[in-house]
Amino acid sequence: MTNTTPRTGQQYSISYGDYEAVITELGATMRKVTYKGKNVIVPLGADDPITCCHGQLLVPFPNRIAAGTYEFEGKTYTLPIDEHDRNTAIHGYGYRSFWKLESLTESSVTQSWRAPFLLGYPFAIKVYATHELTEDGLKITVTAENYGDVDAPWALAIHPWLDNGFNGYGDEIDGHNAQCHLTVPAATHVTVDENLIPTGTEPVEGTKYDLNDNPLLVNQPFDDAWTDLKHDADGTVTATFTRPDGLVIKVGGDETITSFQVCTGTGFPAFQHPAGTAVEPQTAYANAFNTGKDLIVIKPGESSTTTMFIKAEQH
């Protein structure tokens, strides 16, 4: 028996103007986003393994939960350990599942996912994700609905690796990233322990974590979160990645985005090191299910919506 469907499932190709994107059935993942033929995010083939969260939607939680255990409204829940060297559960469960196609047009695709009944996350959540291309780039709208009878903890992020334009491999990628600029409009850096679990915060002023003035990425490695973000008057917040070839990539979201995670992949095994920098808008940073920091609680019959974006300009 032959199965010709790619390993990442059905491929939903959308386009508008100078933008093209491919969203996969597996995980509602952004497999490819281009602007005027240039890669905006590090692309993958339809049958490639996703070695480092390329383009994934991280729900119902992004980043790590310490020891895979959390307490919510007086009950303790235990999740499977995904990252054994750090003893954490990481990045939720949506990316592991094939999402149901709800609608597809030339410029947009909407998919849905119902959270499985996990003992560690038994909440009745259904998630809708819409990827829509417009003249202003890719808009990602994610709505989670609680159709159960108890409150549900909720957080999300997207995990695009912004393409540095060099198509490098292995350790040379650090040098390529160092030729790019990154602005993260944030006042505070999140400190972490050896397992990348938050221990506190510190002001960015006077440290390598001050990315407010568009510095070159010469102070790698980064695998860190920034918070106390500076939102614009319209409620949005934007991180800006500028490549040597003049492509400027902007990623961000609405007022529900409270932090950015930035990862340069420094020291990763060559096969696992995307040729760019991950810039991830998040509604909450690591371990929020334990700390409650920026955690969204969805009450029965209610929903939570977050809108994010990725766009590009050629200078």
Euclidean distance between CA atoms 272 and 230, whole angstroms:
32
CATH number at residue 21: 2.70.98.10
* Any domain includes 6: no
Looking at residue 216, the DSSP 8-state letter turns out to be: B
* Any domain includes 144: yes
Euclidean distance between CA atoms 115 and 121, whole angstroms:
8
What pLDDT does residue 1 have? 63
Per-residue pLDDT of the chain (315 residues; tens, 9 = 90+): 667 899 999 999 999 999 999 999 999 999 999 999 999 999 999 999 999 999 999 999 999 999 999 999 999 999 999 999 999 999 999 999 999 999 999 999 999 999 999 999 999 999 999 999 999 999 999 999 999 999 999 999 999 999 999 999 999 999 999 999 999 999 999 999 999 999 999 999 999 999 999 999 999 999 999 999 999 999 999 999 999 999 999 999 999 999 999 999 999 999 999 999 999 999 999 999 999 999 999 999 999 999 999 999 999
Q: Determine how β-strand 186-192 pairs with β-strand 161-163.
A: unpaired
What pLDDT does residue 131 have? 98
* Any domain includes 43: yes
* Any domain includes 273: yes
Domain with 240, as residue range(s), is 11-314
* Any domain includes 4: no
Structure tokens at 13: 């190709």
- Angle ∠(297,302,308) on CA atoms, nearest 5: 70
Euclidean distance between CA atoms 129 and 112, whole angstroms:
6
* Any domain includes 149: yes
| Contact criterion met (CB below 8 Å) for 59 and 93 | yes
* Any domain includes 199: yes
Which residues lie closer than 8 Å to 103 by C-beta, 6 or more apart?
109, 110
Sign of torsion, CA 25 31 35 41? positive
Cβ neighbours, 10 Å, residue 234:
8
Cβ neighbours, 10 Å, residue 104:
15
Q: Give the total residue count for the chain.
A: 315
* Any domain includes 5: no
Counted domains in the chain = 1
Measure Cα distances from 70 to 61, 123, 136, 152, 289 in Å.
12, 14, 39, 13, 6
